[in-house]
């Protein structure tokens, strides 16, 4: 199979570097375009990240000499690649992502800039792969030759998949969630070490709203030109920054809408949970998207964040909630599943979305939500 040309916007940042790591040996994709801000543009990638390459893995040799384009050379990008991973900040994304989509690229974004846009789906492949249809509609709605799809906030990933496995069987009415989020979620340099050592910051700007609203769009109903958000469950999410390098942990208490499931049923749903990435055998898909640990002190960030190459969500401690029905702890790797890994999985899903198997794999998704 001929490889598909892909590019990375914001290639020199922490998430950009992780895209390189996940794409460098990818069976379907070939990195053919890198872009970054003015300071880096015009340099080789090796020069641009000198002293700023933050990954344990060495910078791949064949990437070192790649030319770093300026972000404003949109037409150039459209000649050099088909899919563009966007790892730029929200302000920059606001301006530039539509221009790349207009120029014919499929933009897969980590930024929050267009998560509220009616015509742009927020995709978690196991939950709402069918929302990808909206990307086709963007040609008409937006006048784009290409398209734009986004992934949710990295924190959402920690609790949404385990709740979804339950919700599609027995609807959930409401949930109160407290997150303990790793510093890598704030990028680099991000959180100051004086705020982080021996300390908790019980506030992350804008995060709690996103954590409550994005799930409802993901669980929403696809209409002709937009997604109508789900009404349930109602979320209250408390967000905290804690002294952890990687891995967002959430404590969740939830209440069913009508029918209640018992502990064994929920654990069974988690153990057997699968979605389109698994049935389509996407290269980045975790074999088990949900892992339930029976030990009473798991999940723990250091021990569980790298499960399935950082693409699985690990849960533990499902137990009765004295106030609601059940409560549990859940963890996902915020820069793997929650950022570059999730982006690559979305790209793989998009590639397969024109094929017949995709229809089959996603036909029941809408019903299950």
Distance between CA atoms of residues 142 and 153, nearest Å: 24
Kindly tell me which residue out of 37, 44, 178, 279 binds a copy of itself, with binding defined by CB under 8 A. 178
Is the CB of residue 171 less than 8 Å from the CB of residue 258?
yes
**Binding-residue pattern over the window 28 to 47 for a copy of itself, x denoting contact by CB under 8 A:** --------------------
Contact region for a copy of itself (CB under 8 A) — 20-28, 147-155, 217-225, 243-251? 243-251
- The answer to whether 301 contacts a copy of itself (rule: CB under 8 A) is yes
Q: Which stretch, 28-36, 61-69, 118-126, 189-197, contacts a copy of itself (CB under 8 A)?
A: 189-197
Active site residue 248: yes
> What is the DSSP track for 94-157?
HHHHHHHHHTT-EEEE-SSTTTT-TT--B--HHHHGGGGHHHHHHHHHH--SSEEEE---TTHH
Q: Which of 80, 244, 285, 290 binds a copy of itself (CB under 8 A)?
A: 244
212 binds a copy of itself per the rule CB under 8 A: yes
The catalytic position among 154, 196, 211, 239 is 154
Which positions from 246 to 265 touch a copy of itself by CB under 8 A, shown as an x/- string?
---x-x-x------------
Q: For a copy of itself, give the closer residue by CB, 5 or 300.
A: 300
C-beta of 82 vs 332, nearer to a copy of itself: 332
Asked if residues 228 and 318 have their Cβ atoms less than 8 Å apart, the reply is no
- N- to C-terminal Cα distance for the chain? 35
Contact yes or no for 80/32 (Cβ under 8 A): yes
The least distance separating a copy of itself from the CB of residue 232, rounded to whole angstroms, comes to: 11
Q: Total residues at the site for a copy of itself (CB under 8 A)?
A: 63
Residue 143 or 202: which CB sits closer to a copy of itself?
202
Distance CA 104, CA 227 (A): 23
Residue 173 tokens read as 């009415």
Considering only 180, 218, 347, 351, the residue that binds a copy of itself (CB under 8 A) is 180
Q: How far apart are CA 184 and CA 204, in angstroms?
A: 13
Q: Which residues contact 27 (CB under 8 A, 6 or more apart)?
A: 283
199 binds a copy of itself (CB under 8 A): yes
**154 catalytic per annotation:** yes
CB 185 → a copy of itself: shortest distance, Å? Answer: 10
Which residues contact residue 155 at a Cβ distance below 8 angstroms, ignoring those fewer than 6 apart?
Answer: 179, 181, 185, 207, 211, 237, 239, 248, 250, 334, 338
Q: Which two tokens stand for residue 85?
A: 């991973």
Binding site for a copy of itself (CB under 8 A): 14, 50-51, 54-56, 174-176, 178, 180, 183-184, 188-203, 212, 234-236, 238, 240, 242-245, 249, 251, 253, 295-307, 316-317, 321-324, 327, 329
């Amino acid at each position: 199979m001929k490889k598909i040309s892909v590019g990375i916007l914001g290639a020199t940042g922490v998430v950009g570097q992780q895209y390189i790591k996940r794409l460098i040996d990818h069976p379907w994709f070939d990195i053919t375009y890198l872009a970054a801000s003015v300071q880096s543009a015009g340099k080789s990638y090796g020069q641009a990240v000198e002293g700023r390459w933050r990954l344990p893995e060495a910078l791949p040799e064949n990437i070192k000499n790649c030319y770093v384009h300026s972000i404003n050379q949109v037409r150039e990008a459209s000649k050099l690649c088909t899919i563009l991973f966007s790892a730029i900040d929200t302000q920059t994304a606001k301006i530039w992502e539509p221009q790349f989509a207009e120029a014919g690229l499929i933009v897969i974004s980590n930024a929050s800039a267009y998560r509220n846009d009616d015509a742009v789906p927020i995709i978690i492949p196991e939950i709402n792969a069918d929302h990808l249809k909206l990307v086709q509609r963007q040609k008409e709605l937006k006048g784009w030759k290409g398209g734009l799809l986004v992934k949710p906030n990295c924190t959402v990933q920690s609790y949404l998949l385990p709740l979804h496995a339950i919700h599609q069987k027995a609807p959930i009415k409401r949930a109160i969630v407290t997150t303990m989020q790793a510093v890598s979620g704030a990028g680099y340099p991000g959180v100051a070490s004086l705020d982080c050592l021996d300390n908790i910051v019980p506030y992350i700007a804008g995060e709690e709203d996103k954590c409550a609203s994005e799930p409802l769009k993901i669980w929403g109903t696809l209409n002709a030109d937009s997604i109508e958000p789900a009404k349930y469950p109602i979320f209250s999410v408390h967000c905290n920054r804690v002294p952890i390098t990687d891995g967002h942990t959430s404590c969740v208490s939830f209440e069913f809408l009508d029918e209640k499931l018992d502990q064994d049923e929920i654990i069974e749903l988690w153990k057997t949970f699968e979605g389109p990435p698994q049935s389509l055998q996407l290269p980045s898909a975790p074999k088990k998207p949900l892992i339930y640990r029976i030990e009473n002190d798991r999940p723990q960030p250091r021990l569980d964040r790298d499960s399935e190459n950082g693409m699985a969500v690990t849960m533990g401690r499902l137990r009765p909630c004295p106030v609601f029905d059940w409560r549990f702890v859940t963890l996902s790797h915020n820069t793997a599943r929650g950022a570059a890994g999730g982006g690559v999985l979305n790209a793989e899903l998009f590639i397969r979305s024109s094929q017949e198997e995709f229809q089959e794999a996603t036909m029941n998704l809408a019903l299950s939500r």
